[in-house]
Amino acid sequence: MRVRSLAWRPFRIPFRAGFATARGTLTHREGWLVRLDAGDGLTGLGEAAPLAGHGPSGEAAGRPVPALLAEARAALTGAPLEAVAAYVDGLAAPGAAAAAVRCALDTALHDVLGRASGRPVASLLAAVFRPAVPVNATVAAAGAEEAAAAAAAARDAGFRCIKLKVGMAPDPEAERARVAAVRSALGADVALRLDANGAWSAAAAVRTIRTLEPYGIELVEQPVPPGDPAALRAVREAVAVPVAADEDITSEAAARRVLEAGAADVLVVKPAAVGGLRAGRRIAAMAAEAGAAALVTTMLEAGVGTAAALHLAAALPAGGPACGLATLPLLAASLVAEPPAVRDGAMALPPQAGLGVTPDETQLAAFAGAAWEVAAGHAGGR
């Protein structure tokens, strides 16, 4: 098989409600759907959707996604399909956009290979994979009562793990009161993890986490700003709650730095942040070798990116932390027909081969560009 064409289509999807984190409130999710045509009716989908502010603040911005995709199209059109993996591995451009493009190309390649072999993408990543992945619900409501109500609703829907966004409270007592309200609403049998998105200094993180320890916290994601493994390690060594690195995990090299520093008990692996499914799989293996756990989350992508993260999560061994994949309901559209859904706190792999998702033309018409860009200065139909 050869690369017949590479096309992409921009999208912009509003959140159903503003999604608040310590880094600000998101109102829309933007990105590009990518389509790789390998001929003989075989196409694969990817999603390039970098998220502003993910990773260390000093990280290079790099070139924009469309320019990187145009370069990939020029290099890959007519090349053997296996050249896509080599291109992804050799794309050393810095920045979140380049990582997202690597992920989109890697995902589209795996989708084609899965469809060609009649197998799910997860089976291409691991000999043994899970048919369904336990997932957490995410609660971002700022008020204590609102957060407690959202957590209780997620529990009643079957979730056994709730992730609460923290670091937004005006003072430690307000933070404690909000976490206490959520724990009270959940009861003792549902896991509660916190995600600070790098909101605290090391000293503030230690004080706050120690205050919150009585509420049975499963883990705390990224308590300090990314880019300082020593600070993350200082927090980890000072508190009883396991510490996870999230925004720090932007590449295999970054993950290695965190592990070598002894800075985290858990690595949060986002395919779009680390450059694809194969890179994510290697980071998870690296974590296991170091005695750390790994969990997979989305970057609040649409349906293609979520399906890709699901397949990576399914390739990880059972028994690890719940994964952060249940984010599609936050968006007004998924852009795919029959997107992966959560039932009883788990997300099952689609029954179809490859990623198992196909574009929804009605949603594309509402939230994406008018047509697929198939050549410079030219747009074509599907």
Q: How far apart are CA 5 and CA 259, in angstroms?
A: 39
Q: How far apart are CA 89 and CA 314, in angstroms?
A: 23
Residues facing residue 9 across a β-bridge: 33
Q: Classify residue 318 as exposed, middle or buried by CB count within 10 Å of its CB (0-12, 13-18, 19+).
A: exposed
Residue 294 corresponds to which tokens in the numbers above? 């790994």
**Active-site position among 270, 278, 281, 311:** 270
Q: How far apart are CA 193 and CA 190, in angstroms?
A: 10
Max Cα distance, the chain (Å): 62
Non-local (6+) Cβ contacts of 320 within 8 A are: 293, 294, 295
Active site residue 163: no
Residues 77, 82, 87, 88: is their CA dihedral positive or negative? positive
**Active-site position among 102, 155, 165, 278:** 165
Q: Smallest Cα–Cα separation from 301: which of 1, 4, 34, 57? A: 34
Residues marked active site are found at: 165, 270
